Amino acid sequence: MQIRISKISPAELLSWLTRIKVGIRNKNRGKKTRTLLRQDYGRIKKLRMGKEINKIMEKKLSVKTIEKQLQDFIDKRKLGGVISVAKVKDWIFNDYGDTAMDSVNRYNKKFLESFVNSFDDDNFDQILELSTNCWNYFSHKSLSGKSPKQVAEKEAKLNNKTDGERNKAMPDVVVGNVKMSWEENQRMLKEMERAQKPFKGQIDKEFLPSYKKFIMEKIDLSEEAKEKYVMVAEKFFDRALWLGFVNYQTIRADFAKYEFPKWWQSHVLFVNYDENQVWLSLRHLISFIKEKYGLEIDSVKD
């Protein structure tokens, strides 16, 4: 059996969705809510996959219960003309994207934007939880008609086996059209994380702090523009690390100028930058790093 890396694990889908939702930078949210979200994000980052699966398993919900919760939520806010239970189930069943993370983001963006005028500090977390429950309990075509909850039950059993039994039971993985075993893939990911450690340290300790200071001191930018410039820089480096770049100089020009701005459109909620606006903002970061650190992304031209 072989599966695409993009459809590997419902635990990963849950993790990615949670990281997306708590990473929302909506300045209309209250300070308390945003602080709780940041704390939750830090906590979730420390959880192991087994614990994520256990969290899915611990919930005692049914599809009918979630359908009723969703319908009640829609009716209470008089959003019947905007969203429906059938529409949400269709989004989830026919999820699409280049990767699992892409699929989750596309769904999450549609779901949350349907309720964008209903957000307040009291129900924001409730909407996020409802979105997550729908994703985890409704059927996915990409999971052969099963839900992440159902597949998580199977994976939870694997966690009780020895490493050898687990690796033998896990399917082969295809990465970049190259087939490899689950064990080989895990070794590759650990090696990539080790190789990226210096770059990540440079981002966290040098690039982002100095760039943020530089942007915040600019008198010709509004506070909103400053926040968005910094956000673009943070998302750019997050994405670069996720794709496996091991230092700044290895980042491809096409990724910076075309792929990242295109990715932004389906992955970043409530910041409606078009591709050109994302690129124009990113140019400030690229110019800053060139001037301060003498580093360049090969072939990037303004």
pLDDT at 53 over 50: no
CA-closest candidate to residue 156, choices 147, 144, 146, 166: 166
What rounded mean pLDDT belongs to the chain? Answer: 75
Q: Taking residues 198-211, what's their average pLDDT? A: 96
Residue 264 has pLDDT above 70, yes or no: yes
* Lowest-pLDDT range of 8-12, 164-168, 214-218, 263-267: 8-12
Provide CB contacts within 8 A for 63, sequence distance 6+.
137, 138, 147
pLDDT tens digit string along 98-136?
666 677 878 888 888 887 776 665 567 788 888 888 988
pLDDT surpassing 70 at residue 182 = no
The HSE-up count of residue 295 (CA atoms within 13 Å, CB side) is: 16
| Helix 260-267 with 275-293: angle, nearest 10 deg | 130
DSSP 8-state class, residue 171: P
Write the CB contacts of 108 (distance below 8 Å, at least 6 apart in sequence): 17, 20, 21, 131, 135, 269
